[in-house]
Amino acid sequence: MTTNVTGGLTDRPMTHEHENTTSPAVAGIRELVALSSRILGHTDQGDLIWGHASARDPHGRGVWMKASGWGLEEITPDRVQLVSPSGEVLEGTGGRHSEYPIHTEIMAARADVGGVVHAHSPYAVALAAAGQPLLPVSHAATYFVPPEVPRFTDTADLILTCDLGKRVAANLGSASAVFLVNHGIVTAGPTLQVATVAAVLLERAAHQQWITHGFRSWPTWSDAPEAFSKRDHIYHPQALDQVWNYLVRRSERLSRAHGSGLTSTTRTLAGGCHEPCRDDPAAGDYI
Ligand SMILES: [Zn+2]
């Protein structure tokens, strides 16, 4: 049976025969979202229980994202749910983040995007709130600049509606990141792995700019040709893949060191994580 998904993520056919919570593809995507979430938590992008990462459902049903009420570093595959473009939880348990339109609308607008991160990253939020453009004072910012990272200023409130999600997507355009001024960041990539690495780089770049500013002298930064060259030399696809693998290893070390036991069962993302389910927090709507 095949139907078309309208007004949502994609016009591609949705094949219901693939709707299977135990399929390797679903297990792998749950594991991926859990890994991405823990990496973001372990790179200080968490804001208590807020912030979320998502991956596009391979069957066109919506996005896989963390359930609400948990910190990013607490996310296991059983705390990842499938959210439809209208906000319905199709698979999984627990509360659903109310800012899901950030993810669904960006993926609807960008066929090239397979993963989205929204976080309240402290240095990036501070930089955008200060009205400062991101400058390539070190390597990290050259992943984004030039052009200037777009700034979403329609509201600093939550992105609660599809209309607001569409406006964020329009502001993002073809870029890999957008500042939600006085709120947070959004990064997008062809895969969630790339979107996650981008979120880590954006926060590192903002932090580096803050450190640079602290010397109160005459900062320098790369001009456009040098920034483009650095982007090619440093952040090519193979390097991004290696950075992701490093972040996975680092996150697992941190999980073990903290005794949380929240580690992945595979680095290849081919299999699921078989950790026991825990009781979900009280179901509710969280950003
Ligand atoms: Zn938010």
Residue 217 has a pLDDT of 86
Residue 213 has a pLDDT of 92
Residue 42 has pLDDT above 90, yes or no: yes
Q: Following CA atoms 258, 260, 262, 266 in sequence, which dihedral angle do they give, to the nearest 10 degrees? A: 60
235 in Cβ contact with 142 (< 8 Å): yes
CA 220 to ligand 1 centroid distance, Å: 32
Residue 270 has pLDDT above 60, yes or no: no
pLDDT band at 21 (very low <50, low <70, confident <90, very high): low
pLDDT band at 15 (very low <50, low <70, confident <90, very high): very low
| CA gap 40, 147 in Å, rounded | 25
Residue 10 has pLDDT above 80, yes or no: no
pTM for the predicted model, two decimal places: 0.85
Residue 12 has pLDDT above 50, yes or no: no
CA 287 to ligand 1 centroid distance, Å: 6
Residue 263 has a pLDDT of 62
Residue 286 has a pLDDT of 46
77 in Cβ contact with 273 (< 8 Å): yes
CA 97 to ligand 1 centroid distance, Å: 9
DSSP annotation of 47 reads B
pLDDT band at 104 (very low <50, low <70, confident <90, very high): very high
> What does the domain layout of the chain look like in residue ranges?
24-260
CA 103 to ligand 1 centroid distance, Å: 11
Residue 4 has a pLDDT of 31
Tell me the CATH class for 24-260.
Answer: alpha beta
User: Amino acid identity, residue 101?
Assistant: P
